[in-house]
Structure 1
Amino acid sequence: MSPLFLLLPLVILTLASTLSFRYHSNSETEQYLSMISATNPSIAHLYSIGRSVRGQKLWVLALGLSPHRHTVGIPEFKYVANIHGNEVLGRELLLQLIDNLVNGYRNNEPWSLQLLNSTRIHILPTMNPDGFDNADTDCVYIQGRYNYNGIDLNRNFPDAFDGPQWNQQPEKHREPEVRAVIGWLKTETFVLSANLHGGALVASYPYDNSNGSELVGGASITPDDDVFVHLAKVYSLNHPSMRDKNDECGDTLFKDGITNGFEWYPITGGMQDYNYVWAQCLEITLELSCCKFPPAKDLPALWADNRKALLAYIQQVHLGVKGQVFDGSGVPVQNAVVEVKGRRNICPFRTDRHGEYYRLLLPGNYSFTVTYPGHEVLTETLSVPYGPDQYSAMKHDFWLRRTNVTTDRTPVNLAPNCNYVLRLEGGGSISRFTWTDVAMGLGLVVALRSQID
């Protein structure tokens, strides 16, 4: 064994224990994340969600009391940076955030203990490592923005408003980095997320696109617009200049430092809309610096500007209500539809494989309707308090009652481009189809008719 190999752990430890304010290469970032995972196994777990075009792994560090796997009742949160390879500040902010959280936990600091004891936090410092390798240090130019295939990754996701034909295209039309994130969203039930960009100073929220029916004034409004506005303001109001000085980047002044994405400028195939529509994860986009590649000397001040906001935003994962849905036998059930009156989402929110649901809601009274084949429709009104201060959303389980008829007549809430599951009464196969499938006459309408005839 060579002396250099023996010294490698010491080099990695030195890199991590003295995380400096500079730009770290992809290999240095990987070494740092590996060290954190190896030296803090009780709260940190490093895993890869896939590879870039050039084969570089997309590394994610999970932090929490159960970093290796989901715990029922503990919400999943994520930060993603560097989707545009030349927008680099987010990479370093997320490394500093990891350092801050881990050291805070080691030192028994209450804020870190509370966050990591109540939340599983996933951090992907770079979604576009190939673009970063090609990036120029210029503040404005776009060299390095795209992946190695020359594709803008934040225009490559399926788009709810771009027509069913495009949404149904095979996965080969997606870039590997995008496929990796889509696959990631299928393995974890993320509740809240943000992606970090550069080139402006504003918190942007969905929708980024529209087919017209969502337009209110110049904005494209989601059913959860009040929550999105709140989330964006949590970040902007905890940042010392985002609220009042965002026009310094050359844009018009954004009131309160926030903007609806479509109202700012529409995009197709964006990641935040995909998260919200298909993964029932509320995500916003954070533009964190006028300069896309700020000088390294500015990094300490930029970290100081964003630290409080990054932590406050994570805490918002505890808004609203969480719980499980149980069937007539007392078993948690997957794919039960959990809807809130007045918030008809393009894809209805459904329970995960643990029978869990999470609904981010501001304090108030809400009427919930829970639908599951073979069971009576359940409607309950809940009074929701403000959860983030207590690091826990309100917990409420729904208990369903079986219907007394032999044919399941449970109402099916269909929406375009969403996957549905039909379970025949008494067991049997599960059919998956979309509204588009039915409209195209692929024969799956027979499965639907068996549920309602």
Structure 2
Amino acid sequence: MDRARLWLGLLLPLVAALDFRYHHQAEMEAFLKAVARNYSSITHLHSIGKSVRGRNLWVLVVGRFPKEHRIGIPEFKYVANMHGDETVGREMLLHLIEYLVTSDGRDPEVTHLINSTRIHIMPSMNPDGFEAVKKPDCFYSNGRENSNDYDLNRNFPDAFELNNVSRQPETVAVMEWLKTETFVLSANLHGGALVASYPFDNGVPATGTLHFRSLTPDDDVFQYLAHTYASKNPDMKKGDQCKNKMNSPNGIINGYSWYPLKGGMQDYNYIWAQCFEITLELSCCKYPPEEKLPVFWNFNKASLIEYIKQVHLGVKGQVFDQNGNPLPNAIVEVQDRKHICPYRTNKFGEYYLLLLPGSYIINVTVPGHDPHLTKVVIPGKSQNFSALKKDILLPFRGQLDSIPESSPSCPVAPLYGDVPSHSAASKPSLFLFLMTIFYILFK
């Protein structure tokens, strides 16, 4: 089958080679529509909403079944250009799309990736901002914010303190999009620094802010994910190539330890959407000359592919009752790493847990029943583009009526509302604050 697909790939139509320059909205749309037309069997182009000025927020899906979720196939996403003047990520994702579709059937690694993963790519979350930049600058341009002058990476609900800002159309579109898919892994692409930053971006003493950091229960996985991307990028892995004086050994850093950020997208993904997301800062200059784009592509191509593969870490499966009925909305968590918002099965009873190799106890909780514990051992070797498959059969008949199909996992409100945010004790030191304040605009 794979051999036949490889031969078939030699006959597939090609999209005209994407040149290395900045593509404005009309050009980007033309390219995406050409890809969707010429590679219709593995792509699906759709808009998740519109910007303030009515521009479509395009997403191209690449996969063997691009139009719908299939049980056992994890959902992955990349989002770029949420700051309109941070432009490298936008172009990298367009080139990634071209690379994926033209390599299917030719490159065995990419072909396996497309067979086993549903990849969602949004080249621009802030097209209005990109179009508003009149004079590209390395540090700041008027296109950073959306057309209502809101910073979209400060516009999401925050788990640690009230973020009482007007939700923007672009933000609302992403929040609604997250409800429609079982996203497992994600990255959002930025510019102005060269580092892979991982959650939390905000925090309280309970998450480690007394030690100038804010760590998730899955900190080992997040550090691994950030390192996976940075290690394949020749410049990023060196650490602090932009002379930001940040403590980023091997090119990775905890978001809060860099500087606290309220209302960020990566924290929202992890807490409310059950999706592990990191922030990738791809260039010291926010809007570099386009003649440098080939170098950025050469430095990020391997990282972009390797990071997608990490969606297959850990364990996945379905939860069934004793009659073989899948159980939606059951809580499935590793015993010693409970999330602020419990992770639940989707409407197919599926769960996906990103975990490093090791032994774990999975705790499944269904209303009206005692927790059900299952031990899993995740091997050190790769599962060949698949997480360890572990279906869980519960020893009782699941009362499906007692498990609402779409109940919210958590209230959209500060989950640590009774804890003072950023008290004097939890703030980074004055020295660290002064060293990083200049770079707050870079993220």
TM-score interval for Structure 1 and Structure 2 normalised by the shorter chain: 0.7 to 0.9
Contact 1:423-1:430 within 8 A present in 2 as well:
no
> What is the match of residue 62 of structure 1?
61
Question: Aligned to 1:113, which of 111, 117, 136?
Answer: 111
The match for 1:189 among 182, 197, 202 is: 182
Query: 2: distance between equivalents of 1:250 and 1:17?
Result: 39
Report the counterpart of residue 307 of structure 1 in structure 2. Answer: 301
**Aligned mate of 1:292, from 277, 283, 286:** 286
Equivalent residue, structure 2, for 1:132: 130
Which residue in the other structure is 1:201 paired with? Answer: 194
User: For residues 99-158 of structure 1, what are the alpha-carbon distances to aligned partners after superposition, in whole Å with 9 as ceiling and x for unaligned?
Assistant: 11111114x211110110110000000000000001231111232000000000000000
Q: In structure 2, what is the Cα distance between the partners aligned to 1:129 and 1:186?
A: 22
Taking structure 1 as the reference length, what is the TM-score of the superposition? 0.84
1:166-195 residue CA offsets vs partner (Å, 9 max, x unmatched)? 57x8xxx31000000000000001000000
Confirm or deny that 1:32 pairs with 2:25. Answer: no
Q: Partners in 2 of 1:267 and 1:92 — Cα distance?
A: 26
Q: What does 1:427-438 correspond to in 2, within 5 Å?
A: none
Aligned AA for 2:278? I
Q: Is the 2:318–2:351 Cα contact (8 Å) retained in structure 1?
A: yes
Q: Distance in 2 between matches of 1:53 and 1:328?
A: 50
What secondary structure is seen at the aligned counterpart in 1 of 2:121?
A: strand
Amino acid at match of 1:114: H
Aligned counterparts, 1:46-57, within 5 A:
46-57=45-56
Structure 2 contact 328–405 (Cα < 8 Å) conserved: no
Q: CA deviation at 1:225?
A: 0.2
What is the aligned partner in structure 2 of residue 247 from structure 1? 241
User: Is the radius of gyration larger for structure 1 or structure 2?
Assistant: 1
Partner of 1:222: 216
Task: Measure how far apart 1:242 and its partner are.
Answer: 0.7
The whole-number CA distance in structure 2 between the counterparts of 1:125 and 1:43 is: 18
Q: CA deviation at 1:241?
A: 1.2
Kindly provide the CA deviation profile for residues 388-443 of structure 1, in whole angstroms up to 9, marking residues without a partner as x: 56111000011112279xxx9xxxxxxxxxxxxx954xx99997696799x9xxxx
Secondary structure of the 1:73 match is coil
After TM superposition, the structure 1 = structure 2 runs for residues 87-166 of structure 1, keeping only pairs within 5 Å, are 87-106=86-105, 108-135=106-133, 136-163=135-162, 166=163
Displacement of 1:221: 0.6
CA distance in 2, matches of 1:320, 1:429: 25
Query: For residue 338 of structure 1, what is the aligned residue in structure 2?
Result: 332
Alignment counterpart, residue 213 of structure 1, candidates 189, 196, 206: 206
Could you tell me whether the CA contact under 8 Å between 1:423 and 1:431 is conserved in 2?
Answer: no
Contact 1:376 1:401 in 2 (8 A): no
Distance change (3 Å), C-alpha of 1:181 and 1:432: closer
Deviation of 1:65 after TM superposition, in Å, equals 0.2
Tell me which residue corresponds to 1:446: none
Read off the aligned partner of 2:109 and give its amino acid letter: W
1:282 to 276, 279, 304: 276
- The 3 A distance-change label for structure 1 pair 353 and 433 is closer
Contact map agreement 2:185 2:277 (CA 8 A) in 1: yes
Residues 318/367 of structure 1: CA separation in 2 closer, same or farther (3 Å cut): same
Match of residue 363 from structure 1: 357
- Which residue type is aligned with residue 32 of structure 1? F
Letter in 2 for 1:156: N
Q: CA separation in 2, counterparts of 1:241 and 1:350?
A: 38
Q: Which has the higher contact order (CA 8 A, sep 6+)?
A: 2
Give the letter aligned to residue 45 of structure 1. Answer: H
Amino acid at match of 2:216: T
The question of 1:176 aligning with 2:169 is answered yes
Q: Is the 8 A contact 2:191 2:285 kept in 1?
A: yes
Conservation of the 8 A alpha-carbon contact between 1:52 and 1:176: yes
CA distance in 1, matches of 2:128, 2:409: 36
Q: Residue 329 of structure 1 corresponds to which residue in structure 2? A: 323
Q: Distance in 1 between matches of 2:121 and 2:232?
A: 20
2:329 and 2:406 in contact (8 A); partners too: no
CA pair 435-205 structure 1, distance change in 2 beyond 3 A:
closer
Q: Is the Cα–Cα contact under 8 Å of residues 335 and 363 in structure 2 kept in the other structure? A: yes
Between the aligned partners of 1:162 and 1:342, the Cα distance in structure 2 is: 25
Q: Is the 8 A contact 1:324 1:356 kept in 2?
A: yes
Question: Cα distance 1:375–1:403, how it changes in 2: closer, same or farther (>3 A)?
Answer: farther
Q: CA deviation at 1:373?
A: 2.2
Letter in 1 for 2:361: S
The share of aligned pairs that are identical, in percent, is 53
- Taking the aligned partners of 1:360 and 1:433, their CA distance within structure 2 comes to 19
Taking a change above 3 Å as real, the CA distance of residues 127 and 384 of structure 1, as seen in their structure-2 partners, is same
Closer/same/farther in 2, CA of residues 17 and 75 from structure 1, 3 Å limit: same
Correspondence 1:373-388 to 2 at 5 A: 373-386=367-380, 388=382
Q: Where does structure 2 lack aligned partners over 5 or more consecutive residues? A: 1-12, 416-443
CA RMSD of aligned residues (A): 2.3
User: Which range moves more in the overlay, 282-291 or 427-436?
Assistant: 427-436
Residue 372 of structure 1 pairs with residue 366 of structure 2? yes
Structure 1 position 247, deviation (Å): 3.3
Distance 1:62 1:178, change over 3 A: same
Quote the Cα distance in structure 1 between the aligned partners of 2:405 and 2:388: 35
Q: Deviations over 1:198-225 (max 9, x none)?
A: 0000000000001221016211010000
Which of residues 219, 229, 232 is equivalent to 1:238?
Answer: 232
TM-score relative to the length of structure 2? 0.86
What per-residue deviation string (whole Å, max 9, x for no partner) do you get for residues 297-352 of structure 1?
10001100000000000000000000001123211111100010110110011000
